[in-house]
Amino acid sequence: MADIINPENEEDLQAQIEEVEALSSIYGDEWCVIDEASRIFCIKISSDAEEQKLTACLQIILPPDYPSAAPPIYQINAAWLRGSERAKLANSLEDIYVEHAGESILYLWVERIRDFLVEKSHCSESVVQQEEVNRTAEEEVEDDEDAPDFSILGVEKAHLFMDQPNDEEMPPVKHGSPITDRRSTFQPHLAPVVAPRQVKMVLEKLYENKKIASATHNIYAYRIYCEDKHSFLQDCEDDGETAAGGRLLHLLQILDVRNVMVVVSRWYGGILLGPDRFKHINNCARNILTEEGYVASTDEACKSGAKTKRPKGKKAK
């Protein structure tokens, strides 16, 4: 028996096509089609400020009954957007949907996010300017165009970026093989890091890639060994995948790796994976750590017991 096509869905599809065409025309290269058949799109949004520039990626899935009866399914990817600020932005998008129920709202959402970024960048500039006024002569540091954006990390972590004056080179980023399960895809990325500032550099580099920026989640963890203090600087980020960052960091701790950062990108395929998603995230991470020599393979570990990658010329005796 032939499927009965809902006339309302036909109208919704036509409205979606017209809206997507308009958005593509307005935003040009910033608008990206991820999967046209599944109605998955993304757009890179920035504050357009020369200093304290903030960027976010809005990933959108258009359900069959949008805009007549359902809102778009969305995910905002931005490493700096957390907690109350993320909730505040989400509430403002929901308010727009309620106010314009039954209408096409993607343009309004994009511009609301852009306004939010502009407001946030202006606030960040004010904070930085006030901090500069309050500095003493002993605290004064040399300013340059690569100065860290403290607004992304929060005040409590900003000092970490001032402790490593000579470790400002962009580290090489390696990309591992993806794992796909029930239409969800996981791909790991790895970079050697010796200062927290390099963590931010790596994230910014990865987000320049449209595909990575459009991932549903970009989970990361890093460990940096401070020889002078005989301790580790380490942190992690879930990016919306609850508890994934902590599990990833725990893996790095168990493997006793150091001076390395691992990012795992996940593109959600519409099917819930349950606990299997954590297994894939950690397997991705372990695979790339092994490929890059930070962790010995099973056979090598049995022979030598090696666990961590040592810099050339500094092998343990």
At 248-298, the pLDDT tens digits run 999 898 888 999 999 999 999 888 888 899 999 999 999 999 998 888 654
Across 214-222, average pLDDT:
92
The mean pLDDT of the chain is 77
> What does the pLDDT read at residue 265?
95
Q: Where are the beta strands (DSSP E) in 9-167?
A: 31-35, 40-46, 55-61, 73-77
How far CA 267 is from CA of 63, 64, 136, 179, in Å, comes to 17, 20, 47, 11
Q: Which residues of 150-180 are buried (b: 16+ CB within 10 A; e: fewer)?
A: bbbbeeeebebbeebeeeeeebebeebeebe
Q: For residue 90, name the pLDDT band (cuts at 50, 70, 90).
A: confident
End-to-end Cα distance, the chain = 75
Q: Answer whether 41's CB lies under 8 Å from 109's CB.
A: no
- The 10s digit of each residue's pLDDT in 149-198 is 333 333 333 333 333 334 568 889 999 999 999 989 999 999 999 988 89
- The 10s digit of each residue's pLDDT in 304-314 is 444 444 443 33
> What does the pLDDT read at residue 24?
86
Q: Which structure tokens are listed for 138?
A: 């002993």
H or E segment to which residue 225 belongs? strand 217-226
154's CB contacts (< 8 A; 6+ apart) are none
> What does the pLDDT read at residue 219?
93
- The 10s digit of each residue's pLDDT in 104-135 is 999 999 999 989 988 887 775 544 444 443 44
Report the share of the chain in percent with pLDDT over 90. 25
User: Is pLDDT at 233 greater than 50 in this prediction?
Assistant: yes
